[in-house]
Structure 1
C-alpha cells in the first residue's frame, strides 16, 4: 500500500503522523448545491497525518467517514468500549458528505447515519435508559414496558414496584432527525397526575368505552347522573341548579321531543297533561290522567316519580312481582307515609292499628286457650278420681 507523506510516497506512516486519511478534493456547497468535478479533475489517495480531516473520524489508526459496526462515537473518535465518564450509549444522527461517480463526473452525496454515541447521561429525545442494553432510548421494549424514575434517571423495568404501582399512560410526539414520531409510554407512579383518569390500576388520558364517565378522577359507569364538561363525561349525584335532568344526563337545554320541563326534568308531555298515552295509529297523546283511557300510570321508568315521561299502560302489562298497584299507578315503592302490606300500600297509621289489633287478638286466643286447657285437665282428673273408703 502506497501512502503519501509530505508529497512523498512511503510504505508506512511514521509515529508522529500515524493516522491514515483519505485525501479527496474539497467539497464546496452553497444553497444546497455542491460543486461537480469532471473525471480528470478528481483525485483520491491515502496520506499520513497527525490528525483526521474535519469530516473524518479516527478509528484504529485510520480516518473513516463513520464508525464501523461494534464501535461507538466519542469526540470524533470510534471506540470499541465507552469510558467510565461516558458509559451510556445514545443514538446520534451523523451527517457526512462524499464524492460519488455519476457517469463522466463526480457529484457530492450527503448521508445521514445513526451512530451510537458514548454519553454521560441520557438526553432528549432519548431520555429513557435501558440498563440491560446500556442504551438510551425513546421507548421501552415489550419485555420491560414500564418506565420508573430511579435517582433522577428514567429506566425501563419489567414490573412497577408496589410503592409506585399506578401506571400512567402517555403519548408524546418526538422528532428523530426529519421524522416526527408518536411514542406511547407507561410510567410507574404513586398517583394519577392531572389530566389523567384512574382505571384498573392505570392512569389513562381518556376513559375506555366500558367505563367512559369520570367520577372523583376515576373512569366509571355513572350510578345517577352524567354531566358533560367540555368533551369529558363526569358522574354527579345531582344535576346543577342551572341544568335539567334528561333521563340520567344533565343538560343545559332540554332536547327537541323532550322539551317540556317538570320539576327541572325534561319531559315529552307538559305539566298540565304529564302522562303519555300510546296511540296505535299516530303520535302518542299527552293526558292529564291515565284513568281517562281506563289505564294505569307506569312509574317503572327512571326519574319519573313526578309523572315525568310516565306512560299509560294496561294493568296486565305490569310486572306485579316487582311493581305495586296504588291509586291508579304502578310504583316501584310506596309513597312517603305508606307501607307495603300484602298486595298494596297502606297508611302507616293503619298498619299500626292492624298490628295492635293482631297482637290483641293473638293475646286473647292465648288466654282463652290456657283457660280451655285448665278446664280440660280438671275434667280428666274428675273422671279418673276414685274416692277413698272410710271403713
Structure 2
C-alpha cells in the first residue's frame, strides 16, 4: 500500500499504476523500467535495449556474440547482409566503415590507392567520373585551395601573362574597377592612394596633393572643396570635424603654423603673418626712398654751399689781382 514516484529497484512499472517484480505475459518485456507488449529494439533475457551492450552485435532484434553467416557484414554494432550504401567494405574483416583510411580513395564502396580509369578524379576522397568544379591535376575542387587561381576551369599556381590580374581568385585579362600593385582586383582604392587609370597608387601626386574620402573610394584633389578644411596630412575634412585651429579659412591645424599668429584664441583662429611682412617690406622701401631722397637733398645743398663759397673766393681773388695790376701800372 506504499505510493512511489517511480518503481523501486528490481521492480517494473505495470499499467502506470503498479510495481511488479516480473512483467506479466500480456506485457512480458522490460523497457526502461516499464512492462511493454512489444520490443522495437534488441532483446536480452526479456530486457529491451536500444543498442546492444558493448561486445555484442544486433541482428533481427536480438543481441549476439558475433554476426551470423546470413548477415556477416558488421557496421558499428549491427549485422547486415551487405554493407549499407553509404559505407565502405573491408572484405578481409567483413566490416563496413563510414570512410576510407587516410590516404585511400573511395569508389563504389571500395578503397583504392588511386582512382581507377573509369572514375579518374578525386573529389573530397571519392573517385568521380567528371569534375563539377576545378581541376588541379586529378584533384577536383569546388573552390581552388589557398595559393591557387582559377583559369580555364583549372587551378593553377600563377596567372598567365595574358590574364595576369586576380579577381576573386580568378585570372582575368583586366579588372572591372581598380587593381593594386600586386595585380589584385579591388572595387575601390584603399585609403591614402589614388587611381591612376585602373591602378591604385599609394599617396597622391604633387599636382593633386589633397585626399578627399568618398563612400566608394578616395580621390586626389588640387584643393579641398569650399565646405571642407585641409589638415596637416593633406586630408579634406568637413568644417564640423575641425576641433583645432582654423588657418586662412582653408586649413585645420593642431596648432598655428610658424608663419602665423593667434588672432582669436577662443574661436581658435590663426592669421597669416604674410600681410605684416608685406607691410614691413613696403614701409622699409618707403623709408629707404625717403632716406635716399633726404641724402640727395642734403648732398645737393652742401654742393650748392660749396659752389657759393668757391664763387666768393674767386671773386675776392679777382679783385685782389686787379688792385695789384693797378699798383704796378702806377709804379710804372
Give the TM-score taking structure 1 as reference length. 0.37
Instruction: Kindly name which structure, 1 or 2, has the bigger radius of gyration based on alpha carbons.
Output: 2
Greater share of residues in strand: 1
Give the TM-score taking structure 2 as reference length. 0.43
Greater share of residues in helix: 2
